[in-house]
């Protein structure tokens, strides 16, 4: 009998359910804080007098920082533990989201968004690693997919909050709400267990303090093993797959809210605040969420490699039709399908990455291949904004379709890791 989400949670131990919830909440609230910028972008552009290319450049800086943060927090997670690194990443992006509302101009806003990006990049690999190391082999793919699906919930929450707050206040108040995720670190500290797989690879210490954890951690030189046989090809393939997938995703979904809300004469679709909010909520809850969540089940049936190809290639076919659409019903239906396939494949990065790399370098390897790709793809918001300024956002979205297609080609070179036990 197939294992659904409810059955999945029933089969898990209380500790496993808590690690899943911690990683999912962290990723959901990461999405919430990260996407607030896109949702108020049209208002910030107006108040600060920013062009589309400048607005895209600020998001590019956030993505560059997320790549740095992914590698940095990956090292921290391998040294001080998955749980501590997860908490620190959440605190970083929450505080800087609040600070973004205090910005006095483009420079201060860019500084706050850059630091936010460090925490944003660190959350994904620390949470995914924690779940991968605490859940059994036969349930791992499905568990990580559920974690990844929480991004869509966070995006939908951000759209709702932005839509409501903007009716009564300005964009600064929207950013102030971003401090709320910091509160969950208190629950994580007291209720979420550390990865036993990580803990057993640390030397026992009498005091168990943080300094001892750092002192007895595995050598940093082990990081370079991901660039040697037998991992080199997989490292580069996963890095490039994530890069092209992220270029397409960030290029499309950073500019989707302003694309929907900008006037038609400025290349948008002319939706009002609540119209844009409603459309984004539907895209997230009925497109992104099931797309993320379904990948684990599809990957357990078709295999990891075929699932990557299916999702990215289908997205490449759908995006051009979405870019040509004009009517609200078509934008809703095609947008939901693009959101399903164009985001669902990201669940596979944590699944296959966890199965390729051993415990001693797992968090760092995931941080490099996922968040390193974020850094590489950081040009996407700027590039799409620049092309959108010159030719219109609809035309610029064709570049996103091309990136999805390249991701599907690269996916053919992935190793198949279905059924592999972690070591």
pLDDT of residue 173: 92
With beta carbons less than 8 A apart as the criterion, state whether 231 and 357 touch. yes
pLDDT of residue 212: 46
pLDDT of residue 263: 59
pLDDT of residue 168: 87
Q: Is the pTM of this model over 0.75?
A: no
Homologous superfamily of domain range 15-191+225-411:
MFS general substrate transporter like domains (1.20.1250.20)
pLDDT in tens, 33-67: 878 888 888 788 888 888 877 887 887 888 888 88
pLDDT of residue 413: 93
pLDDT of residue 408: 96
- pLDDT by residue for the chain (423 residues), tens digit each? 456 677 777 888 888 889 888 888 888 888 888 788 888 887 888 888 888 778 878 878 888 888 888 878 878 887 888 888 888 989 998 999 999 999 988 899 999 999 998 888 888 778 888 888 888 878 888 888 888 888 888 888 888 888 888 888 888 999 998 888 888 888 888 888 888 878 776 655 444 454 444 444 444 556 688 888 888 898 999 999 999 999 999 888 877 777 776 656 555 565 666 677 777 888 888 998 899 888 988 998 899 999 999 999 999 999 999 888 777 788 889 889 999 999 899 888 888 888 888 877 777 788 788 878 878 888 887 888 888 777 777 788 899 999 999 999 999 999 888 877 776
Residue extents of the structural domains in the chain: 15-191+225-411
pLDDT of residue 400: 93
pLDDT in tens, 144-177: 888 888 888 888 888 888 888 888 888 899 999 8
């Amino acid at each position: 009998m197939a294992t659904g989400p409810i059955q999945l949670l029933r089969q898990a131990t209380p500790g496993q359910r808590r690690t899943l919830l911690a990683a999912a909440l962290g990723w959901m609230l990461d999405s919430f804080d990260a996407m607030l910028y896109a949702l108020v972008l049209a208002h910030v552009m107006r108040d600060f007098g920013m062009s589309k290319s400048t607005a895209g450049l600020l998001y590019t800086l956030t993505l560059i920082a997320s790549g740095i943060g992914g590698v940095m927090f990956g090292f921290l997670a391998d040294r001080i533990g998955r749980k501590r690194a997860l908490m620190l990443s959440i605190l970083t992006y929450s505080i800087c989201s609040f600070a973004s509302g205090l910005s006095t101009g483009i420079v201060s806003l860019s500084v706050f968004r850059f630091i936010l990006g460090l925490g944003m990049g660190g959350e994904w690999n620390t949470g995914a690693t924690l779940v991968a190391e605490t859940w059994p082999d036969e349930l791992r793919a499905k568990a990580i997919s559920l974690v990844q699906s929480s991004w869509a919930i966070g995006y939908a929450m951000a759209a709702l909050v932005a839509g409501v707050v903007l009716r009564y206040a300005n964009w600064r108040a929207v950013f102030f709400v971003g401090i709320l995720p910091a509160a969950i670190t208190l629950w994580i500290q007291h209720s979420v267990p550390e990865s036993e797989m990580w803990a057993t690879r640390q030397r026992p210490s009498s005091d168990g303090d943080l300094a001892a954890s750092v002192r007895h951690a595995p050598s940093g030189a082990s990081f370079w093993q991901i660039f040697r046989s037998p991992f080199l090809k997989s490292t580069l393939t996963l890095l490039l797959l994530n890069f092209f997938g992220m270029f397409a995703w960030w290029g499309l979904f950073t500019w989707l809210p302003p694309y929907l809300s900008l006037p038609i004469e400025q290349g948008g679709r002319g939706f009002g605040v609540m119209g844009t909010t409603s459309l984004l909520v539907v895209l997230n809850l009925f497109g992104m969420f099931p797309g993320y969540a379904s990948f684990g089940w599809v990957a357990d049936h078709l295999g990891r490699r075929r699932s990557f190809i299916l999702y990215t290639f289908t997205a490449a076919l759908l995006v051009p039709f979405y870019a040509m659409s004009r009517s609200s019903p078509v934008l809703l239906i095609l947008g939901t399908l693009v959101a399903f396939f164009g985001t669902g494949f990201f669940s596979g990065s944590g699944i296959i990455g966890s199965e390729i790399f051993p415990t001693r370098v797992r968090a760092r390897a995931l941080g490099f291949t996922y968040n390193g790709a974020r850094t590489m793809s950081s040009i996407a918001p700027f590039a799409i904004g620049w092309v959108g300024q010159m030719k219109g956002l609809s035309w610029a979205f064709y570049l996103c379709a091309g990136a999805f297609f390249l991701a599907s080609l690269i996916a053919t070179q992935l190793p198949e890791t279905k059924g592999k036990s972690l070591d």
